[in-house]
Structure 1
Amino acid sequence: MSTATSARPTARRTPLETRTVVDAPGTRRRRSVPRLLGGALLVVLGAVAFGAVGLRVDPGIDVLAMARPVAAGTQLSDEDIRVVHIVPDQALHVVRVSERSAVVGRTAAVPLAAGALLTSDQLGAVTDPPPGQSVIAVGVKTGRAPSGLTPGASVLVVIVPQGGAVDPPPQAPAVVRAVDLTDSSGITVVSLQMSAESAVRIASATGDVALILQSPGR
């Protein structure tokens, strides 16, 4: 007589090394915080290092520039100059900020505009106007010059005759040096720089002065 034996299924055990380890809630978040802080610190350190390297390779220098306009022959004061940072041009003899004390008290050889870089050849004996040039003053009636005329503008000076047409009327190119306030009679005095020959011709002509604004270089 045979006896039937029932076999019980054998449970399989998972090896320890193959089991999946599940982090407890909150553990993964706690582990990521130090990593985030470390990454942020690296970014900050990188930015600081980049800035330090940028400062070391900056090719610019501190030089002197005009803080306000001065006329030729003016002794420069400390308030007349300011410091600007530029990349210098070898052809431009700029004055470094270390020479500031030596500049104060020097004489402007030429008119200096506000914002212009100060160069060594602009200081010393007055050389204004330049050789071969003259500066004259003319009275301009209202309507004979463009509005808003400013120093540095290039103009064509034309003498409009009063007693009959002259062909061609006396004329000469010039650069505006100064514009005075219009007086009660409607006359504006304008100082003009032009060639010495043209200055004599314009100053001796009779008629009304008209100024025509032109593009620089014409």
Structure 2
Amino acid sequence: MTGASRQVGRRSGRRVAGGVLLVLATVVTFWQVDLRRHAEERFLAVARPVPAGAVIGGADVRVVRVANPSGLALVGADRREQVVGRTAAVPLAAGSLVVSSQVGPPAWPPVGQAVIAVPVKAGRAPAGLAAGARVVVLVAPAAGADQASAAPAGRTAAGARRAVATVVSAAGADQAGGQVVTLLLAADQAEGVASAAGDVSLVQLGPGQ
């Protein structure tokens, strides 16, 4: 290769490298500008819990800034009047962002499911049980009740009523340490749990269980 050819090759390599650096710089600049733009966007968040079917008041929502919320149907702060005064379609948890589908005619509980409240004595549920937790509900047979030798559908081998549910809310503990926990579960299982006599125990499940 002649000296002139080597010089041309070096110049071509420098042009390619310069082009790559220019593209990278453009991408980084665009990302930074886009992030700053989204960081300035203001959306509505839930200031305090709102049950499904309740009217959303002005004190129930607040304005927050969220960075890069692409893909989420969030309600912008400029649409506050479209939320306040309307009903919550589903329970709104404090601290969550308001999504358009959460506002409107009540759609709670979902079709085929039901909501029940169960009393849970002290020591029969994990501490700090929060909304959204998945739990196994066990209702032990009342003292003196006949225990089944086999485990029919919805019961354990010991005869306890069993169902899987999602925690909607957990009221503060009373003087005896017990609490009332509201659960979402299949409608047919809800009837069985609500009508079962005995003490309720809740076993929290891990993610994906």
1:88 maps to a residue whose letter is: P
Give the number of aligned pairs.
Answer: 166
Aligned runs of 1:115-134 on 2, under 5 Å? 115-134=95-114
Aligned runs of 1:92-103 on 2, under 5 Å? 92-103=72-83
- 1:74 aligns with one of 23, 37, 54: 54
Segments of structure 1 that go 5 or more residues without pairing to the other structure are 1-53
Deviation at 1:181, TM superposition (A): 3.5
Evaluate the alpha carbon distance shift between residue 56 and residue 120 of structure 1 in structure 2; reply closer, same or farther with a 3 A threshold: closer
TM-score by length of 2: 0.70
**2:11 alignment partner in structure 1:** none
Deviation at 1:174, TM superposition (A): 0.6
Segments of structure 2 that go 5 or more residues without pairing to the other structure are 1-31
Higher relative contact order (CA 8 A, sep 6+): 2
Evaluate the alpha carbon distance shift between residue 189 and residue 127 of structure 1 in structure 2; reply closer, same or farther with a 3 A threshold: same
**1:36 alignment partner in structure 2:** none
Deviation at 1:212, TM superposition (A): 0.6
**Counterpart contact for 1:62–1:86, Cα < 8 Å:** no
**1:105 alignment partner in structure 2:** 85
SS where residue 100 of structure 1 aligns?
helix
Aligned runs of 1:99-178 on 2, under 5 Å? 99-161=79-141, 162-163=143-144, 164-166=146-148, 167=151, 168=156, 169-178=160-169
- Percent identical pairs in the alignment equals 45
TM-score by length of 1: 0.67
- 2:68 aligns with one of 74, 83, 87: 87
Choose 1 or 2 for highest CA Rg.
1
2:193 equivalent to 1:202: yes
SS where residue 79 of structure 2 aligns?
helix
2:36 equivalent to 1:58: yes
Aligned-pair Cα RMSD in Å: 2.4
